[in-house]
Amino acid sequence: MNGLKNYCTHIIALFLLFLTLLCGLILCIPATFQPFFPFQYYTVSMLSRNDIASQQDALELALAGASTENRTVIIAMVNRAYVEGDDKSMLDLFLNSFWLGENTRDLVHHLLLVNVDQASYERCKFLRLHCYRLETDGVRFDREEVYMSSEFVKMMWRRTLFLGEVLKRGYNFIFTDTDVLWLRNPFQRLSFNENIDLQISTDRFDGDQWSQRNPLNTGFYMIRSNKKTVELFDLWYSRREDSTGQKEQDVLDGMLHGEVLKNLELTVRFLNTLYFSGFCQDSKDIRAVTTVHANCCRTMSAKVADLSAVLDSWKRFKRSAVNETSTFGNLRHAACAHSWRK
């Protein structure tokens, strides 16, 4: 009996000793220690991140997330009409070109998709892209706006205002319409000379990359953030009220072919359509072409049809023998040509 009593006494003593040590350990643990409870740690961590994110600017977070080390971002803008389609959408074609292009897949990591309605934003998040929801002050941009309609012009000016804000935040960017196929990495054809402020695509290239006679196209361009370009965008946007019957591209074209280029001391390089091709003036060499823009086209359905044909031609070229044809073949962009008759 005494043996059992002694055994119980030892057990109790050991238990009290364990409790004493445990209490001492808890009191000594620093306040910053995170207990090893995975769910609790995850919850605290996520709350902390959300608190931080809510205190920061949403646009800055989006830009920083997509930016390269030298603060360069690829920006495209979409609405519901661009992300939906009976068969395939404009956004599908655009992203597919990054997949099928040469040295273009990793560029998607630096693409920021700016969404002007909730439907396109939700689609962007589903695709796990870098997304930014742009508020449009009560104006609805959730449907296709036919080229040069009043709502189309409003959308283009809203885009200009937004891109000017990006420049003011110190980010360089490539702006690209989503009706531009990226078949090769354009950075290999763009100059990194810091003295060049703007490199912009053309509807038709006159043979001289510095000539102001080149008719520019704002569907694809690369711009550096500096005082001159910020002032350019401010001046550009300020002229929207005096531009009845013109889209924003027409206004910029007039500015760069007038005194503004000289007054701001801007250096502008106009891109050769041999590399930066478009439906207005096709590149003659598929081995050289970098991007293909469905310009000179009025409706989205026509653009999707004719860009699909370009992408099919590109896939055939990629499958062909090394020395086979170096042209896109007989692509007449029939759907786009017909779109002007509607």
Residue 320: pLDDT over 90: no
Contacts of 59 (CB under 8 A, 6+ apart): 132, 165, 166, 169
Residue 62: pLDDT over 70: yes
Confidence at residue 242, expressed as pLDDT on a 0 to 100 scale: 80
Residue 20: pLDDT over 50: yes
C-alpha 206/C-alpha 273 separation (Å) is 9
Residue 77 near residue 156, CB atoms below 8 Å: no
C-alpha 199/C-alpha 234 separation (Å) is 18
Query: Within a domain: residue 313?
Result: yes
Confidence at residue 278, expressed as pLDDT on a 0 to 100 scale: 96
Compute the half-sphere exposure of residue 14: CA atoms within 13 Å on the CB side of its CA. Answer: 6
Confidence at residue 294, expressed as pLDDT on a 0 to 100 scale: 96
Residue 92 Cα to chain centre, angstroms: 14
Contacts of 191 (CB under 8 A, 6+ apart): 199, 269
Q: What is the DSSP string of 239-275?
A: TGGG-TT--HHHHHHHHHTTTHHHHTT--EEEPPTTT
**Per-residue pLDDT averaged across 44-51, rounded?**
44
C-alpha 16/C-alpha 9 separation (Å) is 11
Residue 330 Cα to chain centre, angstroms: 31
Query: Within a domain: residue 29?
Result: no
Q: Which CA distances in Å does 333 have to 147, 180, 187, 278?
A: 17, 14, 27, 10
Residue 179 near residue 217, CB atoms below 8 Å: no
Confidence at residue 327, expressed as pLDDT on a 0 to 100 scale: 66
**Each residue's pLDDT tens digit, 260-277:** 988 999 999 999 999 999
**Each residue's pLDDT tens digit, 73-126:** 999 999 998 998 778 899 999 999 999 999 999 999 999 999 999 999 999 999
Query: Within a domain: residue 264?
Result: yes
**Each residue's pLDDT tens digit, 243-257:** 777 778 889 999 988
pLDDT band for position 33 (cuts 50, 70, 90): very low
Q: Which residue has the tokens 């920006």?
A: 75
C-alpha 56/C-alpha 94 separation (Å) is 31
End-to-end alpha-carbon separation of the chain, Å?
107
Retrieve residue 197's tokens: 């402020």
Query: Within a domain: residue 10?
Result: no
**Each residue's pLDDT tens digit, 181-190:** 999 999 999 9
Confidence at residue 157, expressed as pLDDT on a 0 to 100 scale: 82
Per cent of the chain over pLDDT 70 is: 75
Confidence at residue 37, expressed as pLDDT on a 0 to 100 scale: 30
Give the total number of structural domains in the chain.
1
Query: Within a domain: residue 83?
Result: yes
Domain residues for 128? 57-339
Q: Which CA distances in Å does 86 have to 81, 82, 83, 120, 160?
A: 11, 12, 11, 16, 30
pLDDT band for position 35 (cuts 50, 70, 90): very low
Q: For residue 289, give the CATH number of its domain.
A: 3.90.550.10
Query: Within a domain: residue 2?
Result: no
Confidence at residue 96, expressed as pLDDT on a 0 to 100 scale: 97
Query: Within a domain: residue 208?
Result: yes
Query: Within a domain: residue 36?
Result: no
C-alpha 230/C-alpha 261 separation (Å) is 13
Least confident interval from 16-25, 134-143, 150-159: 16-25
Confidence at residue 165, expressed as pLDDT on a 0 to 100 scale: 96
C-alpha 122/C-alpha 259 separation (Å) is 43
Q: What is the pTM of this model?
A: 0.80
pLDDT band for position 51 (cuts 50, 70, 90): very low
**Each residue's pLDDT tens digit, 218-241:** 999 999 999 999 999 999 999 888
Q: What is the DSSP string of 90-135?
A: HHHHHHHHHHHSBS-GGGGGGEEEEESSHHHHHHHHHTT-EEEE--
pLDDT band for position 135 (cuts 50, 70, 90): confident
Per cent of the chain over pLDDT 90 is: 60
C-alpha 39/C-alpha 135 separation (Å) is 36
Q: Is 247 exposed, middle or buried (0-12, 13-18, 19+ CB in 10 A)?
A: middle
Residue 218 near residue 249, CB atoms below 8 Å: yes
Residue 31: pLDDT over 50: no
Q: Which residue has the higher pLDDT, 256 or 321?
A: 256
Q: Which CA distances in Å does 112 have to 134, 136, 166, 168?
A: 12, 18, 12, 17
